[in-house]
Chains A and B, each alone.
Chain A
């Protein structure tokens, strides 16, 4: 049982990063219908900006987090201008292909700016460890699910109880009607991209002290995030949150009890099964669109 709890904790931590990346992805898809393959690059650049802020400007971690949030939001603003605004009137494939292009451009920009060498954020937190009964964790790992819970909770509150949240949800239900009711759809699009990008950037920054940062990490995490989005139901925020944790835990159990080589296979088998038997996702609703 002890070891089971340890695997569970590891799974929740890795799952939390999947959630942070996937929720942004699903938000952008659900509200704007944009399938954003450049989302992993938001994660990667968030990590780099955070590490640079701490290592070269010497700012404290909390300030670095704000820098990351600000930078990622700006990045989202730019991405919206490239991926959504000019493509609004065209069919969805245009923005998908544009997002691939953006991903390649950002990846190579990072390669030129930061080089291929992996870097790692070293903090004083690295030496603190937490013991919760039989579970043993470095403190910087414990931070990840906590920050995830806070941010997702915040997002939930915003979506549910604020004017912006209402506009976002109205837009995701029916853009034309939302517009007729006075929702400023162009502003909603910008806010969505900024929020999605900020979540991914924070995830990247959180992981930069646990895992290594290099220009290719984005393309790896975005695959996991897509797995999570499909499992959770395209466009469903709660679905993405639950599916992200589920995928993390499943992966952890697989490499704990079976073999590490199987962990990636398990996730994709889930996705294929979900697409076959529950195409709307584990937590999604099947909707008939007129």
Chain B
């Protein structure tokens, strides 16, 4: 009895003496170079989740500090960034990063150090497929690019009644994977893929390609790539006189896309897992808090950054210690009741054995300069 009393009396003092310093968590995103638009949007979600967690007292009685690394969408820099976060900053988990190719290089290193990663926007199926089933170290709280492609192909065929379809994609892993998959699904679903064109990341002039496409008279054009390039294509198509239903890949969910494409963005469709008007009540509440803090509407990149960080922090709380292995264990099975802001109402962070969460995407259409569901 005495020893129990002594233990319970002594324990809190030890904990307090031990550590009141903040727990550092890692964030790794492209903050410059290609992908920086997307990276900076995701970052707002990370920062917002950390801020809210700290206002509620942090985790394990300690404040949370976010340490950032810029991977510049470059695999080599990504690997260095992960090493630096783990070795120098001793982070128990990392939220990152946006490009799937960089994730695939970085996740191997993180797994060796037994530090889990939560996606900072990477949607490519390659990343979660590279996990050992049942023992994932990379977690993505939304469906992979295959699911995104499936829901997009569905929309092309059923919602827009596309029969003559054109596909434009960039030459990154993301663009090629999506284009391959959509091509396959459309062909098997009875649509006709008239043409496939590729472009280099950051290419500026699409006028001749779009002129040729205009001659082919497609009824739907699918663009797989990053927001800046997508906006350039949609705008130049408008200038070329190509009037067609455009549908884009997930990275074109940002408001920057609409701003850059201007009036040409009207009618543009995109598969999305979050909108401020989402039927997901937890998501709508997040959207309102975010808007109050930032004076702008939350977008899906903000939302996914928020979810990944929020899940990581909660897993850290539930694990009871800032330890990578314990957090990974909690992420694998212990988060099935934890609500996320993306996806349909009541969606939770129920990771499957590959580290993915599965739910259907919404299809949003731009009307009067805003995406509407």
A60 within 8 A of B: no
Contact for A214 among B40, B197, B228, CB less than 8 A: B228
- When the two chains form the complex, which single residue of B31, B33, B34, B208 contacts A7, counting CB atoms closer than 8 Å? B208
- With an 8 Å Cβ cutoff, the count of chain A residues facing the other chain is 35
CB distance from A265 to the nearest CB of B (A): 10
B36 adjacent to A116 (CB under 8 Å): yes
Query: Can you list, as one digit per residue, whether each of A242-263 has a CB less than 8 Å from chain B (1) or not (0)?
Result: 0000000001110111011100
- In the complex, how many angstroms separate the beta carbon of B33 from the nearest chain A beta carbon? 7
Interface flags, A107-138, vs B, CB<8A=1, else 0: 00001000011101010000001000000101
Contacts of B32 in A (CB 8 A): 111, 116, 215
Question: Contact between B197 and A10 (Cβ–Cβ < 8 Å)?
Answer: no
Interface string of B212-225 (1 = CB under 8 A from A): 10010000000000
**B-side contacts of A129, CB under 8 Å:** 239
Residues of B near A10 (CB, < 8 A) are: 205, 207-208, 211
**Chain B residues positioned under 8 Å from A211 (CB to CB):** 204-205, 232
Q: Does B262 contact A (CB under 8 A)?
A: yes
Q: How far is the CA of A101 from the CA of B204 in the complex (A)?
A: 25
Q: Which of B34, B208, B209, B256 has the most CB of A within 10 A?
A: B208
Point out the residues of chain A lying under 8 angstroms from B239, CB to CB. 129, 138, 141
- What bracket does the count of chain B residues touching chain A fall in? 20 to 34
Shortest distance from the beta carbon of A3 to any chain B beta carbon, whole Å: 6
Residue of B nearest to A253 (CB): B208
Within B124-174, the residues touching A (CB, 8 Å) are 168, 171
Alpha-carbon distance between A214 and B204 when the two chains are bound, in angstroms: 11
Query: How many angstroms between the C-alpha atoms of A120 and B231 in the bound complex?
Result: 11
Asked if B282 lies at the interface with its beta carbon under 8 angstroms from chain A, I say no
Instruction: Assess A220 versus B202: contact at CB under 8 Å? Given A111-B32, A136-B241, A214-B228.
Output: yes
B326 within 8 A of A: no
Query: Within residues 218 to 258 of chain B, which ones have a CB less than 8 A from any CB in chain A?
Result: 228, 231-232, 239-241, 256
Q: What is the minimal beta-carbon distance from A237 to any residue of chain B, in angstroms?
A: 24
A120 to B228, CA, bound (A): 11
Whether A6 and B198, one on each chain, are in contact in the complex, defined by CB atoms closer than 8 angstroms, is no
B37 CB–A CB distance under 8 Å: yes
Q: Which residues of A contact B200 (CB under 8 A)?
A: 264
Q: Which 3 A-B pairs have the closest CB atoms?
A: A116-B36, A261-B198, A211-B204
The interface of chain B, by Cβ under 8 A from chain A, is: 31-34, 36-37, 40, 168, 171, 197-200, 202, 204-209, 211-212, 215, 228, 231-232, 239-241, 256, 260, 262
Residues of chain A at the chain B interface (Cβ within 8 Å): 3, 6-7, 10-11, 13-14, 111, 116-118, 120, 122, 129, 136, 138, 141, 207, 211-212, 214-217, 220, 251-253, 255-257, 259-261, 264
Q: Can you report 20 residue pairs joining A to B where beta carbons are below 8 Å apart?
A: A3-B211, A3-B215, A7-B208, A7-B211, A10-B207, A10-B208, A10-B211, A111-B32, A116-B32, A116-B36, A117-B36, A117-B256, A216-B33, A217-B202, A220-B202, A220-B204, A255-B212, A260-B208, A261-B171, A261-B197
